[in-house]
Structure 1
Amino acid sequence: MLFSNINGINKKKIVLLPHDHPDGDALGSSLALLFYLRKLQHNVDLISSTEYSKSFQWLPGIKDIIVFSEKNKFLIRKKIENSDYIFLIDFNNISRIKNLRNFLVSSRAKKVLIDHHPHPSYFDFMFSDPKVSATSILVFRFISNMNNLNKIDKEIATCLYVGLMTDTGFFRFPSITSETHFIAGKLIEKGIHVSNIYNLLQEKYNENRLKLLSKALNRLRVLKKYHTTYTSIDASDLNILSCKKEDTEGVIYYGLGIENIIFSVFFFEEKIKEPIKISFRSKGNFDVSLFARKHFKGGGHKNAAGGISEKSLSESIKYFLSIIPDYYSSLITSI
């Protein structure tokens, strides 16, 4: 029914919603859908609950994103509540769009989930597969299921390829399958500039970002017995160095790169008196999604997840250290 309605002659009002602080996969998937659905002559708006990283400003269509603010919240509310379909992209729970949550709940629009995270909430239409390495793969499948792969042009292909690259760690993560590379090949056939995309996605460092990284590495602690590392950044670090959240991207992987380490944790205090944000990464069979969901109100994938703590930064770390011994057996058998 959804495919026939979207592919039909009756034009629909459609809103696309990526998760808060959208990453490369959320942005790439959303922008690809924006281009595709507009090709079908639908009235489509892409709305982000929060700002996105400046490192993605080069993406095709990025300027079409409506970013929530106090000035435009009534316009956004009207668009969401009056839409026919709302696509929830790269997230599986409405808590991931805190500024737009109430608007989404009050809208009578049909909700369409396109996401690859486990344990999704239920929506009207579900395109959910936690086994795939990126939501961009599901968007490709979505277009394919409508027999419209011929509508994928260079712009759509670029956006989908960015989603693939970023959510697979540049095609390094264990979630990659033959389908991942098959889709990548099909996107390359559309004439995208792979080397340019790679260069644009590479980490860009300024002096203050390097100093922030230095602080995180100086605080890095190794728990050899548990094959685990952790580190942190606090609000004063950001203020002194005039850095932002996006400047902490990639910090967590330094710990995971140490020999015999399979579990890396990064504690991040963006502002004093706000919840501590925590990132979890692992190798092998240690499931950080379960760990985050049980202890830190979070979730994600088996080897990449996030969570929060209402405690202070020091108390959050202390709590983490108190529970890690419970996972000794799981950690040593994951080597």
Structure 2
Amino acid sequence: MLFPSIDGKNQKKIVLLPHDNPDGDALGSSLALLFYLRKLKHDVDLISPTEYSESFQWLPGTENILVFSEKTQSLVKKKIANSDYVFFIDFNNLSRIKNLRNFFFYSKAKKILIDHHPFPFPFDFMFSDPTVAATSILVFRFISEMNSLDKIDKKIATCLYVGLMTDTGFFRFPSVTSETHFIAGKLIEKGIDIDDIHNHLQEKYNENKLKLLSQALRKLKIIKKYRTAYTSINASDINLYSYKQGDTEGIITYGLGIKNIVFSVFFFEEKEKSPIKISFRSKGNFDVNMFARKHFRGGGHKNAAGGILEKSLSESIEYFLNIIPNYHKNLMFSI
């Protein structure tokens, strides 16, 4: 058994923590662990550093998520301070939990990492494998190592399946392996409603989201020489179209869908004078994880990563444009 100390014989206080702006894999993995650990009779809390997209509010168990805010700060701090274990899920760097990270410097809780991103920071226990397609695969392995596959029910299976689907682009990305499909098959055997899951995950546009997409497409720039496309959304766009969490998701994929483009970049200014968030996507061998780490204080995966800059939007784009010529050869021979 992987962790005999949490086998359910003695109740433990456990905090589950996904990264900020949690996606389908972070939420699905965290909720699956919530249900599983509660089956072992542990006292479990799931704390999100930020709000999450409305598109995932249908997931089983979301009513249990405690979102960190000024209002909940004291409660969150108390729960972390009193915990026996903290699980860090789908991230491996404390920068991904924003203001929550200060709460852990003095915490005596054992810190457990379950994540599939490269170059992890050290934790007390590390369940890490950057070769897998999604953290939900590692949660499945974790439950298996605990000799508890029989405890996976329809709710747990649904959460894990959503993690698999969203982090593999509906099983389309190169990271998909036979294990990915094997686990998907095991989850289907638990009676999940695949049609319902697909209906929830299929792109649904509200009017403002479409208008934001229209703005981004209008600003789209293509640099044929470097097989690169980039676009942006600024604070004025956000204010004009009543932005909600998740409304810019998917914008970056449009650039990568253009013929002969292997590198797509999206610059996002949520508020004026705030850091610029940058998303990177690539095809083939161009490693955006290393690119983001070297130049944008970020990281992620080989073909999908993110970063941040303490510059204005225009300065961030100019900075990027000055860097990209250095990667001419890498981009030309990416695929």
Q: What is the TM-score when the length of structure 2 is the normalising length?
A: 0.99
Residue 2 of structure 1 and its aligned partner are, at CA, apart by: 5.6
Residue 30 to residue 70, structure 1, CA distance change in 2 (3 Å): same
Match of 2:87 in 1: 87
Alignment correspondent of 1:251? 251
Instruction: Give the Cα–Cα distance (whole angstroms) in 1 for the partners of residues 42 and 68 of structure 2.
Output: 22
**Letter of the structure 1 residue corresponding to residue 13 of structure 2:** K
Deviation at 1:245, TM superposition (A): 4.2
* Shift in Å, 1:8: 4.5
The corresponding residue for 1:192 is 192
Listed as ranges, the matches of 1:276-315 within 5 Å are: 276-315=276-315
Distance 1:86 1:150 in 2: 24
Residue type of the partner of 1:126? M
Letter in 1 for 2:260: N
Return the alpha-carbon distance in structure 2 between the equivalents of residues 98 and 215 of structure 1.
29
Which residue of the partner structure matches residue 160 of structure 2?
160
Q: 2:73 and 2:325 mapped to 1: Cα distance? A: 46
Shift of 1:6: 1.0
Partner SS state of residue 15, structure 1 = strand
Q: CA–CA distance in 2 between the matches of 1:214 and 1:78? A: 44
Alpha-carbon separation, structure 2, partners of 1:23 and 1:239: 23
Return the alpha-carbon distance in structure 2 between the equivalents of residues 80 and 54 of structure 1: 26
Aligned pairs for 1:11-90 (under 5 A) are 11-90=11-90
Higher mean alpha-carbon deviation, 83-92 vs 72-81, is at 72-81
1:234 aligns with 2:220: no
CA deviation vs aligned residue, 1:205-225 (integer Å, no higher than 9, x gap):
112211111110011111111
In the alignment, residue 262 of structure 1 is paired with which amino acid? V
Which whole-Å CA distance do the structure 2 matches of 1:117 and 1:236 have between them?
33
Once the two structures are TM-superposed, the CA of residue 99 in structure 1 deviates from its matched residue by: 2.2
The answer (yes or no) to whether the contact 2:8–2:42 under 8 Å persists in 1 is no
Counterpart Cα distance in 1 of 2:72 and 2:222: 46
Q: Match of 2:222, as an amino acid?
A: V
Which amino acid letter does the alignment assign opposite residue 101 of structure 1? R
The answer (yes or no) to whether the contact 1:245–1:270 under 8 Å persists in 2 is no
Which whole-Å CA distance do the structure 2 matches of 1:167 and 1:219 have between them?
27
Identity fraction in percent: 77
> Residue 326 of structure 1 aligns with which residue?
326
Distance between the aligned counterparts of 2:281 and 2:33, measured in 1? 29
Pairwise CA distance, 1:311: 1.1
Contact preservation (8 Å) 1:299, 1:306:
yes
Show the counterpart of 1:209. Answer: 209
- Which structure 1 residue ranges, 4+ long, deviate > 4 Å from structure 2? none
Equivalent residues of 1:84, 1:110 under 8 A apart? yes
Which AA in structure 2 matches 1:256?
L
Cα contact 1:136–1:163 (8 A) shared by 2: yes
- C-alpha separation in 2, matches of 1:245 and 1:254: 19
Instruction: Tell me the alpha carbon deviations over residues 247-266 of structure 1, each in whole angstroms, 9 at most, x when there is no partner.
Output: 11000000000111110000
SS of the aligned residue for 1:278 comes to strand
**Aligned-partner residue type, residue 83 of structure 1:** S
What secondary structure sits across from 2:99 in the alignment?
A: coil
Provide the rounded CA distance (Å) in 2 between the counterparts of 1:79 and 1:122.
22
Distance 2:16 2:245 in 1: 24
The question of whether the paired residues in 1 share the 8 Å contact of 2:18 and 2:26 is answered with yes
Equivalent residue letter for 1:102: N
Give 1:333 deviation, angstroms: 1.1
1:156-193 CA-to-partner distances (Å, cap 9, x unmatched) read: 00000000000001111110000000000000000001
2:270 corresponds in structure 1 to: 270
| Residue segments in structure 1 that go unaligned for 5+ positions in a row | none
1:81-116 deviation per Cα after TM superposition (whole angstroms, max 9, x unaligned)? 111000000000111111211112221100000000
For residues 103-182 of structure 1, the aligned pairs below 5 Å read 103-182=103-182
- Matches of 1:31 and 1:319, distance apart in 2: 39
Gaps of 5+ in 2: none
Distance in 2 separating the partners of 1:67 and 1:304: 26
Deviates more, 1:238-247 or 1:167-176: 238-247
Measure the CA separation in 1 of the matches of 2:25 and 2:217. 27
The letter of the residue matching 2:233 is: I
TM-score (norm 1): 0.99
- Is the contact between residue 2 and residue 142 of structure 2 (CA under 8 Å) also seen in structure 1? no
